[in-house]
């Protein structure tokens, strides 16, 4: 351990919900995006799944809202070190979308991409089984544009760069393919509990 002279840190409550290296952002919700916040109306938003699936499909705003509602209530963790406890997102479980398109038996991964062209890769296993959502509500209100509104992906058990804002679609693949930040030195999977921040972690 490399102790920093005179550094004590802020007085802190013992917080077991905090993954290693993270701090509690409290009421703050920092915005981290490398691109211009798009001006995307719900009427112009679509979400599609293609690639290795039986039936590729694209949903518009109303069709997506017709799927069974599902909420996530819990914590989120950003690779830039903040975590946020007890957040509430409303939308639809990704399972509902995937059940419709039926991924092939050979499918192992997905690339999620946004309406801005941002990409991020995920093992399919991280997107199924009630672990990922397409959401349009935050705390009971429409998701703000700077946080990915009108709709974003959330995969709360991974670092938040995996939760692509302004989600446009998933391409289902039989191999892993690094997305935008992964090509820029970030970890392929991004599990906060194992501190998978940068490639090589």
Partner 1 sequence: MTETFVPPTAFAVPGRIAVNNRAAATWQTATLTEIRRETPHAATFRFAVPQWTGHLPGQHLMLRLTAEDGYVAQRHYSIASPPGDAGHIELTLDHVEGGEVSGWFHTVARPGDSVEVRGPLSGFFAWPGDRPALLIGAGSGVVPLMSMLRHHRARALDVPLRLLVSARSPEELIYAREYGAETMLVFTRGAPHGVPVGRMAAVHVAPLLAEQPRGGWEAYVCGSNGFAEHASRLLVEAGQPVDRIRIERFG
Task: Give the residues lining the site for ligand FAD (CB under 6 A).
Answer: 10, 23-24, 26, 80
Q: Of 15, 58, 63, 184, which one interacts with partner 1 (CB under 8 A)?
A: 184
> Do the Cβ atoms of 68 and 189 come closer than 8 Å?
no
Query: Per CB under 8 A, does 41 bind partner 1?
Result: no
Query: Per CB under 8 A, does 173 bind partner 1?
Result: yes
Query: Per CB under 8 A, does 2 bind partner 1?
Result: yes
Query: Per CB under 8 A, does 27 bind partner 1?
Result: no
Residue 31 vs 69, nearer CB to ligand FAD: 31
- By beta carbon distance, the residue nearest ligand FAD is 80
Closest approach, Cβ 62 to ligand FAD, in A, equals: 37
Query: Per CB under 8 A, does 183 bind partner 1?
Result: yes
Query: Per CB under 8 A, does 116 bind partner 1?
Result: yes
Reference 169, options 76, 82, 50, 54; nearest CA is: 50
Query: Per CB under 8 A, does 201 bind partner 1?
Result: yes
> Do the Cβ atoms of 150 and 125 come closer than 8 Å?
no
Query: Per CB under 8 A, does 3 bind partner 1?
Result: yes
């Amino acid at each position: 351990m490399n102790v920093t002279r005179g550094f004590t840190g802020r007085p802190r409550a013992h917080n077991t919900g905090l993954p290693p290296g993270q701090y509690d952002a409290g009421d703050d919700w920092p915005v981290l995006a490398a691109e211009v916040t798009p001006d995307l109306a719900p009427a112009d938003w679509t979400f599609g799944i293609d690639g290795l699936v039986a039936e590729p499909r694209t949903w518009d705003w109303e069709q997506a809202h017709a799927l069974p509602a599902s909420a996530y209530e819990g914590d989120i963790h950003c690779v830039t070190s903040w975590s946020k406890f007890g957040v509430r997102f409303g939308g639809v479980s990704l399972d509902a979308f995937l059940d419709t398109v039926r991924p092939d038996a050979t499918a192992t991964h997905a690339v999620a991409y946004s309406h801005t062209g941002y990409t991020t890769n995920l093992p399919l296993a991280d997107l199924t089984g009630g672990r990922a959502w397409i959401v349009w509500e935050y705390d009971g209100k429409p998701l703000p544009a700077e946080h990915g509104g009108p709709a974003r992906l959330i995969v709360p058990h991974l670092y938040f760069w995996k939760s692509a804002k302004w989600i446009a679609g998933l391409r289902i693949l039989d191999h892993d393919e690094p997305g935008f930040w992964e090509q820029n030195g970030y970890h392929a999977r991004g599990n906060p509990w194992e501190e998978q921040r940068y490639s090589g972690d």
